[in-house]
């Protein structure tokens, strides 16, 4: 049943987003973060839904695996405590001390608990309809990428973090213990690194050179400190 629900939800999502706003210079991709765990029995449909989102050029879909389900008997091989901390930080920013899996965060502000394809699609469309507050440009120069961020909103501007994320497009994991023992976890866009490049006030363009440490895809994300709204994002394929 979860597999059928995921496929049905994915079909609805694809149909809904097929008529979305076309990409242009004013609209970068929308960032969707999924907080998930291999030890969570409710998470596989959400993992599959993220895989559907990852097929869209106007979405940067990222899976952040948390570690608070590890006590059940299976330690998620992709989980990192800093991803758990990031989810808690989102919760505190919303005035809550409770976190859930699966949970999706759209654009750094909207929170969707459980598997709700149409709710996620509607939020993605809403973010796509608004011009980005930060314009990002990426230029490849030999073995590095020159990234420049330009603020497009007037002062006073929020404090912003410029971040670089790397992720694994696809992975399958045989789960041997815990409530999902004997199943295979199929995962998409698994985050392997989330680094802060610097804090920025937007007064002048922010430029830096990115030298990929691997051939994994990367994303550059500019976000209000908090964590708050994601103001601009760009995808980098380092292959």
Parse the chain into domains and list their residue ranges. 2-237
Contact 64, 87 (CB under 8 A): yes
**Using CA atoms, how far apart are residues 185 and 167, in angstroms rounded to an integer?**
17
Bigger pLDDT: 17 or 122?
122
d(CA 89, CA 31): 17
Whole-number Cα distances in Å, 229 to 61, 212, 226: 16, 26, 8
- Local structure of 113: helix, strand or coil: strand
Q: Do 165 and 221 meet the contact criterion of CB atoms below 8 Å apart?
A: yes
Query: Mean of the per-residue pLDDT values for the chain?
Result: 91
Instruction: Please give the Cα distance from 35 to 183 (Å, whole number).
Output: 20
State pTM to two decimals: 0.91
* pLDDT tier, 9 (very low <50, low <70, confident <90, very high otherwise): low
pLDDT category of residue 23 using cuts at 50, 70 and 90: very low
Q: Which residue has the higher pLDDT, 148 or 2?
A: 148
How far is CA 181 from its chain centroid? 27
Quick count: other Cβ atoms within 10 Å of Cβ 98? 8
Lowest mean pLDDT among 21-30, 36-45, 47-56, 169-178: 21-30
Show the tokens assigned to 109. Answer: 């502000």
pLDDT more than 70, % of the chain: 88
- Cβ(222)–Cβ(162) under 8 Å? yes
pLDDT at 214: 83
Give the whole-angstrom CA distance, residue 203 versus residue 214: 32
How confident is the model at residue 2, as a pLDDT? 44
Contact (CB, 8 A) for 231 and 224: yes
């Amino acid at each position: 049943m979860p597999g059928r629900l995921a496929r049905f939800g994915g079909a609805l999502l694809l149909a809904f987003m097929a008529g979305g706003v076309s990409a242009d210079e004013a609209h970068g991709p929308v960032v969707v973060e999924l907080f998930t765990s291999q030890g969570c029995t409710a998470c596989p449909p959400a993992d599959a839904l993220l895989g559907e989102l990852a097929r869209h050029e106007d979405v940067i879909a990222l899976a952040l695996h948390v570690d608070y389900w590890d006590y059940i008997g299976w330690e998620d091989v992709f989980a990192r405590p800093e991803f758990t901390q990031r989810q808690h930080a989102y919760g505190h920013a919303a005035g809550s001390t409770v976190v859930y899996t699966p949970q999706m965060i759209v654009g750094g502000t909207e929170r969707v608990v459980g598997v709700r394809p149409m709710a996620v699609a509607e939020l993605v469309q809403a973010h796509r309809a608004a011009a980005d507050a930060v314009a990002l440009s990426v230029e490849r120069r030999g073995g590095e990428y020159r990234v420049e961020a330009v603020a497009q909103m007037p002062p006073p501007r929020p404090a912003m973090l410029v971040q670089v994320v790397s992720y694994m497009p696809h992975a399958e994991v045989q789960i041997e213990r815990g409530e999902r023992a004997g199943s295979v976890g199929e995962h998409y866009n698994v985050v392997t690194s989330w680094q802060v490049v610097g804090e920025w006030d937007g007064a002048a363009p922010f430029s830096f050179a990115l030298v990929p440490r691997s051939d994994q895809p990367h994303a550059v994300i500019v976000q209000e400190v908090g964590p708050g709204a994601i103001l601009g994002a760009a995808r980098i394929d380092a292959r």
